Amino acid sequence: MECLELMKNFYYVGVIDHALKVFDVAVRTDRGTSYNSYLLKTKEGVVVFDGNKEVFGDEYIQHLKSVAPLDSIKYLVVTHTEPDHSGAIEKLLTLNPSITIIASAGALMNLDRILRRPFSRIQMNPAAPLTIGEYTFQFVSGLMLHWPDVMFTYIKELKVLISCDAFGAHFASDAILLSREKDLAGYQKAMVYYFEHIMRPFSSYVKVACGRVNALDLKMICPGHGPVVDVGVKEQVAVYEKLAERYLSINDPEKVTIVYATAYGYTKGMAEYLRDRFLEDHKKVAFFQIDALTYEAEKEEILSSINSSGLVLLGSPTIVGDAICLFYDLLTAIPWTVGQGKKASAFGDYGWSGEAVAHLSERLKQLHFSVLPGFRANFKLDEDAKAGLASYYETLK
């Protein structure tokens, strides 16, 4: 693989992995990926951006060496510490222990635990650009894309943004540059898939980051995975911004999402009662009944509705001491970033033991929803239970 000179003195020194089929256990990578690293030659020494995956340590070192002697490397900028980018740092430091690592406070803390060895360090300061040789490095932190330690580096003189995992894709491209990539449709598909599976929970942070990126004078975005964006930079940022807007969580106090399952109609009766009361009170109600046949087709619409609701109600009967399993699938698809700031509650009818409401409430708490007390009833609602359901409704308003 060539270590392409992207601009004068600025090189691509990453590793391209065509063979990868799965990333982070659950993300399919049908087009493989790349672990991107970059190298900048300055008058004050060489600056490398990002390590690599441990398994590619030898290849990474070879790529660095092909562009500059290892002992000329003075700084390593770490954009975040997930081991697909930090795993090979130990090897690099073993070969050149004098390298100073520049990173966020969180990344330096993580590196202490990843490297388990002393190393020279500079904690970046987003308020104070760093000058190395003839280049100015402006760091942007607090991005939460998709780890808390993430930072971007803007190289002012080159108009280049090193963007960590943001604006990336699991897409192994020997072209390296987007301008040279022939399969643009495949790249766009992989980029959207990457967003949906990695960045989506952080859509509000993406929106903020895009605003900051739009304020920069940019020629090139250098992400942690996939092709370097050297054409259509503004358009790529706009695609990201649009995706973030699609998945942005909005806590609309006027909107309620009710998702329920029913075995014999009792929980359905509760759900319909709650729906009708909310409608009488002029709320917008999204109403979903789920079962094993319909759930998969409805799932994305339910998630989208939850995204834009201020209140989420889950109604489940109790079967074998728990809520219906479909609710757990749904609740593992909701990130805490969506739950935050929304109210939620569980309700349901039961025959024997009635654990569903308590179990769903517990899971909703884990997802950072503000959980209101639930309501449950045993078999057919008598007058007391009907009064209890009416009181329950009042607590949800």
Q: Single out the residue of 131, 198, 136, 212 nearest to residue 168, CA to CA.
A: 198
Q: Which amino acid is at 115?
A: L
Give min distance, CB of 159 to ligand FEO, in A. 24
- DSSP classification of residue 316: -
Helix (H), strand (E) at residue 313: strand 311-315
Query: Is the Cβ of residue 63 or residue 146 nearer to ligand FEO in the bound state?
Result: 146
Q: Applying CB under 6 A, does 165 fall inside the site for ligand FEO?
A: yes
Q: Applying CB under 6 A, does 17 fall inside the site for ligand FEO?
A: no
Answer for the pair 354, 378: CB distance below 8 angstroms, yes or no. Answer: yes
Q: What is the DSSP string of 162-225?
A: E-TTTT--S---TT-BGGG-S-HHHHHHHHHHHIIIIIGGGHHHHHHHHHHHHTS--SEEE-SS
Q: Applying CB under 6 A, does 149 fall inside the site for ligand FEO?
A: no
Query: Is the Cβ of residue 17 or residue 165 nearer to ligand FEO in the bound state?
Result: 165
Phi and psi at residue 139, in whole multiples of 5°? -100, 145
Give min distance, CB of 193 to ligand FEO, in A. 14
Residues binding ligand FEO: number (CB under 6 A) = 9
Give min distance, CB of 258 to ligand FEO, in A. 36
Which range, of 76-84, 228-236, 294-302, 356-364, touches ligand FEO by CB under 6 A? 76-84
Apex 49 CA angle, 44 and 54, nearest 5: 130
Give min distance, CB of 24 to ligand FEO, in A. 8
Query: Is the Cβ of residue 165 or residue 355 nearer to ligand FEO in the bound state?
Result: 165
Q: Which amino acid is at 365?
A: K
Q: How far apart are CA 58 and CA 91, in angstroms?
A: 8
Query: Is the Cβ of residue 36 or residue 345 nearer to ligand FEO in the bound state?
Result: 36
Give min distance, CB of 171 to ligand FEO, in A. 13
Which residues, in sequence order, are CB contacts of 272 under 8 Å at separation 6+? none
Query: Is the Cβ of residue 146 or residue 343 nearer to ligand FEO in the bound state?
Result: 146
DSSP lists the bridge partners of residue 77 as 49, 102
Query: Is the Cβ of residue 45 or residue 224 nearer to ligand FEO in the bound state?
Result: 224
Omega prior to 85 cis, within 30 of 0: no
User: What's the burial of 256, exposed, middle or buried (CB within 10 Å: 0-12/13-18/19+)?
Assistant: buried
Determine the residue with CB nearest ligand FEO: 82
DSSP lists the bridge partners of residue 258 as 287, 313
Query: Hey, what are 168's tokens?
Result: 């990336």
Query: Is the Cβ of residue 226 or residue 315 nearer to ligand FEO in the bound state?
Result: 226
Query: Is the Cβ of residue 80 or residue 200 nearer to ligand FEO in the bound state?
Result: 80
Q: Applying CB under 6 A, does 14 fall inside the site for ligand FEO?
A: no
DSSP lists the bridge partners of residue 120 as 100
**Between 233-247 and 184-194, two packed helices, what is the crossing angle to 10 degrees?**
40
Query: Is the Cβ of residue 41 or residue 225 nearer to ligand FEO in the bound state?
Result: 225
Among 45, 87, 201, 224, binds ligand FEO (CB under 6 A): 224
Query: Is the Cβ of residue 78 or residue 306 nearer to ligand FEO in the bound state?
Result: 78
Give min distance, CB of 80 to ligand FEO, in A. 6
Q: Which of residues 77-136 bind ligand FEO (CB under 6 A)?
A: 80, 82, 84-85
Give min distance, CB of 146 to ligand FEO, in A. 6
Q: Applying CB under 6 A, does 50 fall inside the site for ligand FEO?
A: no
Give min distance, CB of 277 to ligand FEO, in A. 45
Widest Cα–Cα separation across the chain? 83
Q: Single out the residue of 289, 269, 291, 272 nearest to residue 377, CA to CA.
A: 269
Phi and psi at residue 76, in whole multiples of 5°? -125, 120
Tokens 């929106």: give the residue: 207
Answer left, alpha or beta for residue 134, where phi above 0 means left and psi between -120 and 50 means alpha: alpha
Question: Between 308 and 347, how does the x/- string for binding to ligand FEO read (CB under 6 A)?
Answer: ----------------------------------------
Give min distance, CB of 54 to ligand FEO, in A. 13
Among 63, 200, 225, 363, binds ligand FEO (CB under 6 A): 225
Give min distance, CB of 332 to ligand FEO, in A. 20
Q: Applying CB under 6 A, does 170 fall inside the site for ligand FEO?
A: no
Binding site for ligand FEO (CB under 6 A): 80, 82, 84-85, 146-147, 165, 224-225
